[in-house]
Structure 1
Amino acid sequence: MPSPTCPKDVAVLVLNWNGLELLRSFLPSWVKFTPEEADLIIIDNGSTDGSVAFVQEHYPEVKLVAFTENYGFAAGYNKAIAELDYKTVVLLNSDVELSDGWLREPLELLSSDPSITAVQPTIRAQRSPQDFEYAGAAGGYIDSLGYPFCRGRILSVVEQDQGQYSTPVDLFWASGACLIIRRAAYLEAGGLDPVFFAHQEEIDLCWRLLARGGRIVYAPSSTVYHVGGASLSAESPRKVFLNFRNNLLMIYKNLPAPRLYTVLLLRVFLDFLAALVYLVKLQPRHCFAVLEAWRCFLIKRLRYERVRGDNLAKTTAQISPDLMKPYSIIVQYYLRGRKRYSQLPR
C-alpha cells in the first residue's frame, strides 16, 4: 500500500500488529485528540486479524501504511519513519489513550529550542488514572551502573501524580510509549535497534541523542494514559530476559572505556545476585532468564564492536550527572530505603 502524502509537519504513528481489540478500544481517542496540525497514521505490521479492514471500514479518514510482513517494533518504526517525510514524529503505543491538548506543550518545546530533540509527556496508568505509569511516569534517568528509573517510579514503587513533577526538566530518556521526536534527529542517530526486539530500545536511542548534543525534555502539562504490559506481563521470564540483555547491550554500545569495564564487573555481581533472589523466591525460570541474558549478551557483544566504535566516534557531548546519576539506584532503594525520586540525592 502506498505511503500517505505529508502535507503537515507532524505525524502520530501507531504501530499495530494483530491488535484489533486495542484498535477498537483506543482508536476513538487517537482520532478525537490528534490535533489539526498532525496526521494520525496507523502502521500495520502485516496483521492477519482484520486490523487493516477494520481501519479502512470504520475510520476511512485515518491514514494507513500497511506492510506485507511483520518487521517487529523497532524495524517497523524505522521503516515507516524513513518513508514518511514529516518534521516531527510521535511514536505512540497502541495501548495508549490520549487526552485533550496532549500534543500542545511538546510541540511548543520543540519549536522553542532547536537543541531539544525529543519530548515526553506525563504518562499515567490508564487503569488507575491518578497514578503514574511504570513505563515512563514523569521522565527517565539511569544510575551509575546503567539501571533505568523514572521520576514517579523507582523500581517497583509507583507514585500518585499529585503535581510533584510540574515543571519541564531535562531527561536522560523518554518513554517509547509516547515519544515525540524530530525525525531528522531520529534518523541521524540510527533509530531504534531492531536487535533489542522490545524493552529499553528507546533508552538506547535517547543515549545516542544525548551523546550527539541533543536534549530530551519532559512536558508536564501534557498527559497520556498507558495500559502497559499489553505485549509482555511484568511477571514474564521473557520480559526479565529482554530487560537484562538489552540493558547490557545498551551499556556496551554507549559507555566509554575504562568506565565500561568497571560497570560490567559490578553488574556481574548485582545481576547474578538478582538471579539468586529469583531462585530463593522459587522463580527458577526468572533466574535462568537472567543467566541467559548474560550468555546472549556475551555472544552478541562481539557483533557490536563496530556499532560501539561508531557511537563513540560520533559522541560530541558529555552527559551531565543530572541525567546519568552518580549513585546506584539499587543501593538507594534497598539499603537506604529511598523509594521516591524526591528522596534521592541531588
Structure 2
Amino acid sequence: MATDVSIVIVNWNTKEDLRAAVASCLAHPGELNVRVIVVDNASTDGSADMVREQFPDVTLIANDDNLGYTVGCNQGMRAAEARYYLMLNSDAELTDGCLPELVRVMDTHPELGCVSPRLVYPDGSPQVACGSFPRLWVRLLPVSLIVRIELARTAAFERPGEFYPVDYVFGACNLVRADAVVKAGMMDERIFMWCDDAEWQKRMRAAGYQSAVVNGATCIHRVGTSTSLVSEIRRSLRNSMSEFTYFRLRHGRLATALLWLVRTLYSLVKVLILAPARILTAGRVQRIRTGYELARWRLWFHIAHAPDILWREPRPYRAEDVTPEAR
C-alpha cells in the first residue's frame, strides 16, 4: 500500500520527548498509511537505542555527528516515499484527528504547499503557529519593537474558517506536499536551524504554493526542549547567523550588510551604556550583568564573523562554532 504521509522527526538529546512524539504518531494515523522516520543527530542520552528497542517498526537514521535540523530533515525526506511529508519536532505530539485533518485540507486545496495545525502548550493554552517573512526595515529595529510588530502581523493573519493563509508556518509540525518539495527544493542545509522554515516556504511561495494554518487540527508543542541544552548566548549568536544567512540567500549582500552594520552599532551602543552601569553596580544587578555579557558577545561575533556574514559562501553554524568561550 502506498504511503500517504512520511513523518520525519529530527532529534538531539530529547529521549523522553521523542518517545512521546513517536507514540503520538503511531496512535493517531486515522485511516492514513504512515511511516515514521527518526533522524538522530548523535544524541548521548540513549535516544537511538530507545527507538530501536521500543519502536522496531520505525525507520531510524543514526548520525555520527550533530548535522543540524535542516540536514536531518532532508535525510528523512530522501529516505521517504509519500504524497506528503510531516516534519514534526521531537518535542511535539499529534492529537487525535490532527494528521487526517491536515491531509484532508491539503487534498482539497492543491494550492497549499505547507500547512500547520494550531499549536498549543501542554496545558492547552494557545501558541503562535506562524510568522511573516523577515523584512529588512523591521529587522533594523530594536528587538522589543520587532517582537511587537511580528506579533501584530501574526494576529492579522488569523481568521475563522477551515484554514487561513500566512507567510509561513513555524517548523514544529509542518505537513508539506511532496510535489512542492520537487518544485521548490529541499531545505537549505546552509542554515543549521532557525529561519529555515521561512526560507523554505519563501521558495515554495515562489513556486506557486501557499502556506496556511488549519483551524481544525491541533498539535501539542513543548517548545525548545533541545535548544534549551545550549547556553542563551550561544543560541542567540547561532540564531543571528541563521538570520544573516537568510538575508544573504533571499535578499543579497547589500541588505545583509545594512543589517549587519545596524546590529553591530546597536551592540556597540549597548556595550558603551551597560559597561559603566555594570561597574557602578559592581556586577550585582543580574539584568545589567547579563545584558552586558550578551551585548559584548554579540559585538565580538559581528566583528569576528563579518567575513562569513558578508561575503564568504554561507555555511551552517552550530552553537559550538560561535566561540568556545561563549558558554
Q: Same fold by TM (over 0.5)?
A: yes
CA positional deviation for 1:16: 2.2
Structure 2 CA distance for partners of 1:59 and 1:143, relative to 1, 3 Å = closer
Structure 2 CA distance for partners of 1:179 and 1:154, relative to 1, 3 Å = farther
Structure 2 CA distance for partners of 1:64 and 1:270, relative to 1, 3 Å = same
CA positional deviation for 1:147: 5.4
- Give the counterpart letter for 1:169 in structure 2: Y
- Give the counterpart letter for 2:292 in structure 1: P
User: What is the aligned partner in structure 2 of residue 231 from structure 1?
Assistant: 226
The alignment yields a C-alpha RMSD, in angstroms, of 3.3
For 2:216 and 2:268, the matched residues in 1 are separated by 39
- Give the counterpart letter for 1:269 in structure 2: V
User: What is the aligned partner in structure 2 of residue 286 from structure 1?
Assistant: 294
User: Does structure 2 conserve the Cα–Cα contact (< 8 Å) formed by 1:117 and 1:181?
Assistant: yes
User: Does structure 2 conserve the Cα–Cα contact (< 8 Å) formed by 1:81 and 1:183?
Assistant: no
Structure 2 CA distance for partners of 1:95 and 1:299, relative to 1, 3 Å = same
User: Does structure 1 conserve the Cα–Cα contact (< 8 Å) formed by 2:21 and 2:92?
Assistant: yes
Structure 2 CA distance for partners of 1:262 and 1:176, relative to 1, 3 Å = closer
Bigger mean CA deviation after superposition, 199-208 or 21-30: 21-30
CA positional deviation for 1:84: 1.4
CA positional deviation for 1:93: 0.4
CA positional deviation for 1:268: 3.0
User: Does structure 2 conserve the Cα–Cα contact (< 8 Å) formed by 1:146 and 1:247?
Assistant: no
User: What is the aligned partner in structure 2 of residue 299 from structure 1?
Assistant: 308
Structure 2 CA distance for partners of 1:207 and 1:29, relative to 1, 3 Å = same
User: What is the aligned partner in structure 2 of residue 42 from structure 1?
Assistant: 38
Relative to the length of structure 1, the TM-score reads: 0.70
- Give the counterpart letter for 1:116 in structure 2: L
CA positional deviation for 1:267: 6.0
Structure 2 CA distance for partners of 1:193 and 1:276, relative to 1, 3 Å = farther
Bigger mean CA deviation after superposition, 84-93 or 227-236: 227-236
CA positional deviation for 1:235: 7.2
* 3-state DSSP of counterpart to 1:221: strand
For 2:55 and 2:138, the matched residues in 1 are separated by 41
User: What is the aligned partner in structure 1 of residue 245 from structure 2?
Assistant: 249
Relative to the length of structure 2, the TM-score reads: 0.74
Is 1:141 aligned to residue 132 of structure 2? yes
- Give the counterpart letter for 1:265 in structure 2: L
* 3-state DSSP of counterpart to 2:262: helix
Is 1:16 aligned to residue 11 of structure 2? yes
CA positional deviation for 1:35: 2.9
* 3-state DSSP of counterpart to 2:223: coil
Q: Which of 54, 75, 95 is matched with 1:58 structurally?
A: 54
CA positional deviation for 1:205: 0.9
For 1:166 and 1:235, the matched residues in 2 are separated by 39
For 1:303 and 1:47, the matched residues in 2 are separated by 30
1:62-77 aligned at under 5 Å gives the runs 62-70=57-65, 71-77=67-73
1:299-338 aligned at under 5 Å gives the runs 299-304=308-313
CA positional deviation for 1:106: 2.0
Which consecutive residues of structure 1, in runs of 5 or more, have no partner in the other structure? 1-5, 306-346
User: Does structure 1 conserve the Cα–Cα contact (< 8 Å) formed by 2:187 and 2:196?
Assistant: yes
For 1:242 and 1:155, the matched residues in 2 are separated by 23
Is 1:199 aligned to residue 194 of structure 2? yes
* 3-state DSSP of counterpart to 2:224: coil
Structure 2 CA distance for partners of 1:264 and 1:285, relative to 1, 3 Å = same
For 1:299 and 1:264, the matched residues in 2 are separated by 11
* 3-state DSSP of counterpart to 2:211: strand
Bigger mean CA deviation after superposition, 101-110 or 213-222: 101-110
User: What is the aligned partner in structure 2 of residue 181 from structure 1?
Assistant: 176
User: What is the aligned partner in structure 1 of residue 261 from structure 2?
Assistant: 268
Structure 2 CA distance for partners of 1:42 and 1:218, relative to 1, 3 Å = same
User: What is the aligned partner in structure 1 of residue 320 from structure 2?
Assistant: none
Structure 2 CA distance for partners of 1:213 and 1:156, relative to 1, 3 Å = closer
Is 1:113 aligned to residue 113 of structure 2? no
Structure 2 CA distance for partners of 1:304 and 1:199, relative to 1, 3 Å = same
% identical aligned pairs:
22
Is 1:125 aligned to residue 115 of structure 2? no
Structure 2 CA distance for partners of 1:26 and 1:106, relative to 1, 3 Å = closer
User: Does structure 2 conserve the Cα–Cα contact (< 8 Å) formed by 1:138 and 1:220?
Assistant: no
User: Does structure 1 conserve the Cα–Cα contact (< 8 Å) formed by 2:14 and 2:226?
Assistant: no
Which consecutive residues of structure 2, in runs of 5 or more, have no partner in the other structure? 275-287, 315-327
* 3-state DSSP of counterpart to 2:35: strand
